[in-house]
């Protein structure tokens, strides 16, 4: 029985908490200066070294003199105050709703995603994908991006994920075109996925990306071929914010 001087606790319904998240994220953008922080804020060291050439992927790294240049370029978009306002307000509910429908379909499949899955969204910006996963019942979901966006997104470089091997049951990303090293991007997904875990990627094929894209995917086999430790579950067409192809893969339970 509570004592007479016990203070009442405020319990907000989970949907209301998700509605408040974009406004919290909007406040966070004012904690950043108008110019991006130095790339050293990302606690990884990735050398500027060539990626094995592929006839299916066109690289666009000519303008980067160093990996730090690449990080600065990506952070210009990630920390742009105007874009962050759009992501946190006008785009928020539209994207959360669309991602929630996509994740609910994967969950309803019965073998790709479940409410018990531990999930990661790679390159999640403010975390609409993470909010969508939690909305459909996947409570153990988090995102990574170069700039954190609490409470949904932690700081992390997708070329060197800050997680141990075999951590996640499910990983989602729609930023493959931003990878300076597509092979490392994929290798990190496979490293942090548990055996039997599922990776879902939304990509654009035969379409040139924006000025922040580091590669153009000319054929979906350019992506599939990088997954050395996984098998294709399904490749299908989607209409996902300018991306047209969904690739679903499952990490093999044992190495060959």
- 191 versus 29: which is more confidently predicted? 191
Secondary structure (3-state) at 200 = strand
pLDDT for 63 equals 73
Q: Is residue 243 a contact partner of residue 177, using CB atoms and an 8 Å limit?
A: no
User: In sequence order, which residues have a C-beta less than 8 Å from that of residue 151 and are 6 or more positions away?
Assistant: 21, 24
pLDDT tens-digit readout, 36-91: 333 333 445 565 666 778 899 998 866 788 899 999 999 999 999 999 999 999 89
**pTM, two decimal places:** 0.83
pLDDT, tens digit, for every residue of 162-180? Answer: 999 999 999 999 999 999 9
Give phi and psi for 142, each to the nearest 5: -150, 160
Burial 242-253 (b: 16+ CB within 10 A, else e): ebebbbbbbbee
Domain architecture of the chain: domains with CATH: 14-34+54-251 (3.40.50.150)
- Is residue 19 scored above 90 in pLDDT? no
What is the C-alpha to C-alpha distance for residues 44 and 114, in angstroms, rounded to an integer?
Answer: 32
């Amino acid at each position: 029985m509570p004592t007479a001087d016990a203070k009442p606790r405020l319990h907000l319904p989970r949907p209301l908490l998700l509605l408040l998240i974009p406004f919290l994220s909007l406040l966070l953008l004012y904690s950043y200066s108008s110019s991006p922080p130095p790339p050293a804020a990302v606690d990884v060291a990735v050398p500027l070294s060539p990626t094995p050439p592929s006839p299916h992927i066109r690289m666009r790294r000519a303008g980067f003199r160093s990996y730090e240049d690449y990080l600065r370029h990506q952070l210009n978009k990630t920390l742009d105050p105007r874009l962050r306002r759009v992501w946190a307000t006008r785009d928020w509910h539209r994207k959360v709703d669309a991602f929630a429908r996509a994740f609910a379909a994967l969950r309803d499949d019965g073998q790709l995603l479940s409410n018990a899955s531990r999930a990661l969204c790679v390159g999640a910006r403010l975390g609409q994908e993470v909010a969508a996963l939690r909305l459909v019942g996947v409570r153990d979901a988090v995102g990574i991006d170069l700039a954190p966006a609490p409470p949904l997104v932690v700081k992390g470089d997708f070329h060197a994920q800050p997680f141990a091997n075999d951590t996640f049951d499910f990983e989602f990303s729609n930023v493959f075109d931003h990878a300076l090293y597509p092979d490392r991007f994929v290798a990190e997904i496979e490293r942090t996925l548990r055996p039997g875990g599922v990776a879902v990627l939304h990509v654009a094929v035969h379409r040139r990306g924006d000025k922040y894209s580091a590669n153009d995917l000319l054929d979906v086999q350019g992506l599939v071929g990088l997954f050395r430790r996984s098998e294709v579950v399904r490749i299908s067409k989607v209409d996902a914010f300018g991306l047209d192809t969904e690739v679903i893969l499952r990490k093999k339970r044992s190495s060959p």
